[in-house]
Amino acid sequence: MKLIKWTGLVIFLAAFSLFTGVFFLSQFKLTNEVLEETIADESKRNAFSKEAATYKGNEYASNFVFVRELSATFERVNEKALKTYSISEAEINTLVERSSGDGQIEFSLSLIDELFGGEDEINQYKRKTFTDYGNWLDGRQFNTAEELKTQLTNVVDNIRKYGIINQKGFDKYQVKNLKYAIAKASSYGPVKDQPILFIFLTFIASIIGALLYILPKVKEGPPGIKNNRIYFDPMKNVGWLGILTGTYLIAFYIFLYYYPEYMTNWIIMVDPVSFFLKGSAGGRFFLYGFIYTLCILVMGVRMIIKYRHSKYQIIRTISVMFFQTAFAFLIPEILLRLNKPYFDFKNIWPLDYDFFFNNELDALINSGGLGIFMLGWGIGLILLGVPIFVYFFGKRWYCSWVCGCGGLAETLGDPYRQLSDKSLKAWKVERILIHFVLVFAIVMTAGVLYTYFTGVSEIFGFSTYSIRETYGAWIGAGFAGVVGTGFYPFMGNRVWCRFGCPLAAYLGLVQRFKSRFRITTNGGQCISCGNCSTYCEMGIDVRWYAQRGQNIVRSSCVGCGVCSAVCPRGVLNLENADEGSRFNEPILIGNDSVKLSQ
Residues 314-344: tens digit of each pLDDT: 999 999 999 999 999 999 999 999 999 999 9
Residues 20-43: tens digit of each pLDDT: 999 998 899 999 999 999 999 999
Interhelix angle for 368-380 vs 358-365, to 10°? 130
CA pair distance 177, 507, nearest whole angstrom: 35
| Amino acid sitting at position 577 | A
CB-CB neighbours of 62 under 10 Å: 12
CA pair distance 199, 197, nearest whole angstrom: 5
403: left (phi > 0), else alpha (psi -120 to 50), else beta?
A: beta
Q: What is the number of structural domains in the chain?
A: 1
* Helix segments in 187-239, DSSP class H: 190-193, 195-199, 205-214
200: left (phi > 0), else alpha (psi -120 to 50), else beta?
A: alpha
Residue 232 lies in a domain: no
| DSSP-assigned letter for residue 88 | P
- pLDDT means per 10 residues, the chain with 598 residues, are 91 97 93 95 94 95 94 96 94 92 84 90 93 91 92 93 92 94 95 96 97 89 72 91 96 95 95 95 95 97 93 96 97 95 96 95 94 96 96 94 96 95 94 96 96 90 90 94 95 96 96 90 86 93 92 91 90 77 42 38
Asked whether 535 and 581 are in contact (CB, 8 A), the reply is: no
Residue 571 lies in a domain: yes
Strand partners, 29: 59
- Position 594 scores a pLDDT of 39
Structural domain that includes position 571: 514-597
Q: Residue 27: helix, strand or coil by DSSP?
A: strand
Supply the pTM of this predicted model.
Answer: 0.89
- Position 435 scores a pLDDT of 97
Q: Residue 174: helix, strand or coil by DSSP?
A: helix
Residue 84 lies in a domain: no
CATH number of the domain at 530, please. Answer: 3.30.70
CA pair distance 285, 503, nearest whole angstrom: 21
- Position 578 scores a pLDDT of 64
